Amino acid sequence: MDITAALVKRLRDETDAPLMEGKRALQQAAEEIGAGAAEDAVCARAKDILRESGKSHAGKRADRTVSQGVIAVSRSGNAAAAVTLLCETDFVARNEDFQALAQKLADAFAKSDPGTDPLTASVDGKPVQELIEEAVAKIRENIQLGGVKRVEGESIGVYLHHDKMKAALVSASGGNGTAQDIANKVGTQVVALSPEYISKDQVDAERLAKEIDVEKQRAIESGKPAEMAEKIAQGRVNKEFLQQVVLLEQPWYADLSKKVGEMIGEVKIHRMVRLETGKTPVDTSVG
């Protein structure tokens, strides 16, 4: 059969495949089916060929470094999700189709928990892995799913930095109706100051002891006696280390004279998630 411009356009409209690649897929499909093939059958087979091609493209590019990407966030009821989608170049990270895929995944995961293997979750009737393979075939870069987080709770704070490379999800409750506003503000705090823990009770005792020992040796080396060095070390760890890594001990981003713990009042922070492209997500919770 003749591969008409109208048929090529139809396939492109339905798959977003490049024109020449779509035409080649249609020609291959027509040859496989043989003379007298119906357009619908040829088009359906061409779609299969393009999907197989997408898997091939994905496989060939799978070892390429993905150092760029975006984070998309979404809310749905009492849940929110954040998805990191990684690519090779900043050019693709700014691509509308790439960002739309990240947002599609975030929207779907906010509505339905993707489980322990998000690549196998179904979105728009397809496994996420297949959606990514289709994007690789179209965009021609290695694309990988990075960190995926979903948070549920009474009040969920969501913050996405303007560069779309950092985001936070915060679960909170209490505060006589202020929890939602506080959770959103704490999300900004989490992105800006990168805490690792919510409360100081969560800090590993061994890590804390190591920090105290380092500060004690520092004080001794500056000429302080051992007993005084111990007190200095405790003070430095409380003032510097804990204020750096513990959310509730950090200075409030909007008023550095006060701690986060003071500013949130009766609101309880139950879970804190921080994502940044190229880094392992921070995900911590307290009872």
For 156-213, the pLDDT digits (tens) are 999 999 999 999 999 999 988 899 999 999 999 999 999 999 999 999 989 888 988 8
**Position with higher pLDDT, 1 vs 252:** 252
Tokens of 41: 């059958």
pLDDT of 282 > 60? The answer is yes
pLDDT of 229 > 80? The answer is yes
Strongest mean pLDDT among 29-38, 64-73, 221-230: 64-73
Spatial CA neighbour of 55 closest among 111, 126, 117 = 126
When pLDDT is averaged across residues 222-236 and rounded to a whole number, the result is: 84
- Domains of the chain and CATH, by start: 5-61 (no CATH), 62-152 (3.30.479.20), 204-245 (1.10.286)
Positive or negative, the CA dihedral 75, 76, 81, 84 is: negative
pLDDT at 98 (0 to 100): 96
pLDDT at 140 (0 to 100): 82
Whether the Cβ atoms of residue 250 and residue 189 lie closer than 8 Å to each other: yes
pLDDT of 13 > 80? The answer is no
For 62-119, the pLDDT digits (tens) are 566 778 999 999 999 999 999 999 999 999 999 999 999 999 999 999 999 999 999 9
State residue 109 phi and psi, 5-degree precision.
-75, -25
Residue 88 Cα to chain centre, angstroms: 16
For 120-144, the pLDDT digits (tens) are 999 999 999 999 988 888 888 889 9
Whole-prediction pTM value? 0.77
For 81-94, the pLDDT digits (tens) are 999 999 999 999 99
Whether the Cβ atoms of residue 51 and residue 80 lie closer than 8 Å to each other: no
pLDDT at 144 (0 to 100): 93
pLDDT at 58 (0 to 100): 47
pLDDT of 61 > 70? The answer is no
Q: How far is CA 114 from CA 124, 233, 285, in A?
A: 13, 45, 20
Tell me how far apart the alpha carbons of residues 167 and 153 are, in angstroms, rounded to a whole number: 18
